Structure 1
């Protein structure tokens, strides 16, 4: 069985100022992440503007990521669709383009109840032999893969991992009590990572790792080694920036942070727009303070 663990950044899709996919910049950012020690990469997450991408753009992004990873780490793709038929078809396509796993969203077009949620994930799993990470983010999508839902999915071998993003860290313990080690548990909330590690997550799907990959890998490693006093020092420096990961404009915030830290393009695809005014200044000041504080650790 596939066992994922470690830091898996949710990779931003780099764009030109006119909104075209910048494959070279995207591949360069993925290489930077791998060189700084991440354990896997996830392209086309929500943070990667998945829903805004055309199918040919998704193909270029997945193929480009697989090429630059070159077997060093697994490459997962977000799978975010409205209908089961489209999700099943694209799961097969993404595998043919080289994806080694899928992070599967709930349906983007309809808020499923528990029975429908189970059918959604079982239906996608039936169409692929790729390992699946369930993207459980009820705050954003209104669908919660609760312990009861996961109990209905426990006998689906393709489902190997849960990205836990309820914002309630108690869910980690509830899942461990119910299922032991059956599923890999990944924290999906940057400003809950130390708390989640203390309760037993084995992985982290992170937005701000795009900005500070070496620091995120170090933070996660300290937690896994139970070096919590040292981890808290780094966490306290990074947490104001990590709060940017849980805002509705996390795409704009994290892309601007990448731009400030290592010069990546900050451009986003409409209807998103680049930040301006006080909001932009807030993000800039938050990141600049973290840059300065990191020098003194």
Structure 2
């Protein structure tokens, strides 16, 4: 399937049973809920999908479940989060063999590569399969910054076609669009910068908190992309406290708790993560409840 880099692509949470094994039924139900609410693609096993905590066998199973459930209705992308070039390239080949539509490739985990090492890593992964690649630029999280100069070198690989921008610097969006035009799709990777990114020309958003509020997130990006900023700001102000939770270290726990409160799914996370507790948990519950109240005032069914 050709990927059109438009609309909301949730970074899908990996649903787990109480013993932390995969919950295939819940994964399927979650994907059906997202598609029914209008998302344009699904990204399995990004950071939000706890990629680094899954075994190789679990990763393969998550992709099989997703592909069998989605059945071509929207593109299915997979995160590639490995500690070595060899394993990242092998995963890219395996994902292609399974039938995945595209890859979001993290830099090599645990090592802060310099520019030459970063370029070599991404080139090796790009050459391992023909799948289109969404680069993942999150210098705060991984210590590797895909600057426009680095991106220019990477675009020598034809399968590198998009970049998830998570540097928290909105000037980077304009710099990338100005320099690369249609050659590179710039994708918003920060939930609480989506309206700002859309105002600068971004039309695709990989969102964590869209797991909890998919319809509202789809509506928000559509309003901003259409230039209806009065309505977009009204909705954004309601959603932003919830979206802020996508930008902190425990984002997976916050997102899974929000899903649990809104949709009833389990909030189980893979260790070393632990579920939220105490005042931290109560604060997130309060934010979710206030968000629901605000959405009701805007006419959403909560």
Range into which the TM-score falls when normalised by the shorter chain: over 0.9
The answer for the alignment partner of 2:169 in structure 1 is 168
SS in 1 for 2:183: coil
CA deviation map 1:83-114 (0-9, x unaligned): 11111111111111221100000000311111
Matched, 1:207 2:208: yes
User: Is residue 2:44 matched to residue 1:46?
Assistant: no
Residues 104 and 132 in structure 1, CA contact (< 8 A), matched pair in contact too: yes
Q: Which residue of 2 aligns with 1:73?
A: 74
Shift of 1:148: 0.6
Shift of 1:115: 0.9
* Residue 26 (structure 1) aligns with: 27
- Map 1:91-170 to 2 at 5 A: 91-170=92-171
Q: TM-score, normalised by structure 2?
A: 0.97
SS of aligned partner of 2:182: coil
Partner-residue secondary structure (3-state), 2:8: strand
Paired residue total: 297
Shift in alpha-carbon separation, 1:277–1:101, aligned structure 2, 3 A: same
Contact 1:3 1:184 in 2 (8 A): no
CA contact (8 A) 1:3 1:160 kept: no
Distance in 2 (CA, whole Å) between partners of 1:116 and 1:194 is 34
In structure 2, the residue matched to 1:4 is 5
SS at structure 2 position matched to 1:93: helix
Q: 1:144 and 1:64 mapped to 2: Cα distance?
A: 33
1:10-47 per-position Cα deviation (integer Å, ceiling 9, x unaligned): 00001111111111101110111011100000001011
Q: Find the counterpart in structure 2 of residue 192 from structure 1.
A: 193
Partners in 2 of 1:53 and 1:163 — Cα distance? 22
Distance in structure 2 (CA, Å) of the matches to 1:67 and 1:2:
18
SS of corresponding position for 2:21 = coil
Q: CA deviation at 1:3?
A: 3.8
Q: Can you list the C-alpha shifts for 1:40-74, whole angstroms capped at 9, x where unaligned?
A: 00001011000000111111110111111111100
Deviation for aligned residue 1:167: 0.6
The RMSD of aligned alpha carbons is 0.9
Alignment partners' CA distance in 2, 1:34 and 1:3: 16
Deviation at 1:2, TM superposition (A): 4.9
Partners of 1:183 and 1:177 in 2: how far apart? Answer: 10
Q: Secondary structure at the match of 1:261?
A: helix
Q: State whether residues 110 and 142 of structure 2, in contact with CA within 8 Å, keep that contact through their aligned partners in structure 1.
A: no
Tell me how far 1:131 sits from its aligned partner. Answer: 0.3
Judge conservation of contact 1:219–1:235 (CA < 8 Å) in 2. yes
Aligned-partner SS, 1:8: strand
Secondary structure of the residue that 1:48 maps to in structure 2?
coil
Describe the SS at the equivalent of 2:111.
Answer: coil
Q: Secondary structure at the match of 1:204?
A: strand
Find out whether 1:248 has 2:261 as its counterpart. no
**Structure 2 SS opposite 1:85:** helix
